[in-house]
Amino acid sequence: MDESQISVAHKPKKEINYQFKVLYAIGIINVLMAHSHSENLAFWNELIHFAGYTIALFVFGSGYFYNPKNERNIFNYIYKKFLKLIVPLYLWNFFYALLILCLSRLGITIGAPVTVYKLFVTPLYSSKLLGYNDPAWFLVPLFVTEVYNVLVRRLTSGISGFKTDLAILIFNLFLGFMGVALSIYSPGCGWQLFFTRFMYFAPFYSMGYFYKTYLEKKDTFSSFWYFMVIIIIELFLILINGHTSSYSIVAMDPKFFENPFLPFLSGLLGIAFWLRIAKILTPVIGRSKVINTIADNTFPIMMNHILGFMLLKLFYLLLSNVFDFMPKFDIEQFKIDVFYFYVPRGRGFPMLYVVAGILVPICIQKILILLKKHIYYRKPEKKA
């Protein structure tokens, strides 16, 4: 029987993992703080740098929620992932291309020129898309990781179990080491990124699945000693490296990699740190509407938060033209640099970019949902 035919009254209620709601909300806020140059407001960034774990955290979450039932029909699974990840990537790419064409008439050249190559090919491998949607680069390597994972697990389904899952995790770790090593010792761009970014993603995806399947129920370690171990290791890494671990995964930039192993240790430590923070905070804010709304909209926030930044900058531009006490707004930089940030006064103002980067994408998503309902559920007109 098709699932849709089951009575709602008898349909099992889906269990909500509030710990991961909190974790996702924390993760996306940290991403926005990193992209809006608000790092100085986050004291924790001095210990565990945003760029050391943020992307790894979301890949870990994807692996955590992987369901082995998907291996029964891998083609259907891949098709659904294509619709969920790749189709939105291109739809938003077309939207921003149209926006760029319109704004270029006003002298705003961010993302220009728009070409057929930029529309169709660049999203597959480049570290730069159209400026406004540059953070969407992660969708292709995530899709490749999802496909790779389900194929590997389907091939090993006859020998599934702890040893098999551990072997897959170890293999993926070596795959990740090779990906970083390839970036260090054979630095390149273009299509090499298609492979090296996926190779970086694969271990964290396996970690998420392995943690949920075997380790989560054993995660009862005292929080004091738990954090002490993480802090001591992080301080040791800072001591030997001279800085916090920070990695440019978007470009797999070799100048950010000390060796092939540290990116995975750094990512694991960051995930472990925020996973426990989320666990502690869940009884307090786990059911918060604000937290849940942010967590449920991490995809649109990641896709459209740059637009939120731009709208806030436009608002600042208007204010600076009205009030003389406002610092000078560099309109020329605003027109050409998507990462030009106008900060009126004080250290607190950068956080407004984080707020705008959350509110604008959520509003866009709400509008799209309303439009979708209007289109699909519009009542047919009665014939005279």
Cβ 18 vs Cβ 286: under 8 Å: yes
179-188, 229-238, 272-281, 294-303: range with lowest mean pLDDT:
179-188
Predicted confidence (pLDDT) at residue 384 exceeds the cutoff of 50: no
Predicted confidence (pLDDT) at residue 237 exceeds the cutoff of 70: yes
User: What are the tens digits of pLDDT across the range 328-366?
Assistant: 899 999 999 999 999 887 666 888 999 999 999 999 999
User: What are the tens digits of pLDDT across the range 103-160?
Assistant: 999 999 999 899 999 999 999 988 788 999 999 999 999 999 999 999 999 999 888 8
Q: In a 3-state reduction of DSSP, which class is residue 382?
A: coil
pLDDT value of position 307? 96
Alpha carbons 179 and 254: distance in angstroms, whole number: 11
Q: Which residue has the higher pLDDT, 20 or 371?
A: 20
Predicted confidence (pLDDT) at residue 3 exceeds the cutoff of 50: no
Does the predicted model carry a pTM greater than 0.85? Answer: yes
Cβ 110 vs Cβ 132: under 8 Å: yes
Go through 71-102 and write b for each residue having 16 or more CB atoms within 10 A of its CB, e for each that does not.
Answer: beeeeebbeebeeebbeebeebbebbbebbee
User: What are the tens digits of pLDDT across the range 15-34?
Assistant: 899 999 999 999 999 999 98
pLDDT value of position 381? 55
Alpha carbons 337 and 121: distance in angstroms, whole number: 23
Alpha carbons 97 and 111: distance in angstroms, whole number: 8
pLDDT value of position 4? 39
For 347, residues 6+ apart whose C-beta sits below 8 A from its C-beta are 40, 41
Alpha carbons 48 and 46: distance in angstroms, whole number: 6
Residue 259, CA distances (Å) to 53, 256, 262, 274, 344 in order = 16, 9, 6, 24, 40
pLDDT value of position 246? 78
**What are 112's two structure tokens?**
């220009």
Predicted confidence (pLDDT) at residue 217 exceeds the cutoff of 50: yes
H-helix segments, the chain: 18-35, 54-64, 74-81, 87-104, 116-120, 139-155, 162-185, 192-210, 223-241, 262-285, 289-296, 298-322, 331-336, 350-376
What are the extents of the domains in the chain?
43-286
Average pLDDT for 43-56: 84
Q: In a 3-state reduction of DSSP, which class is residue 10?
A: coil
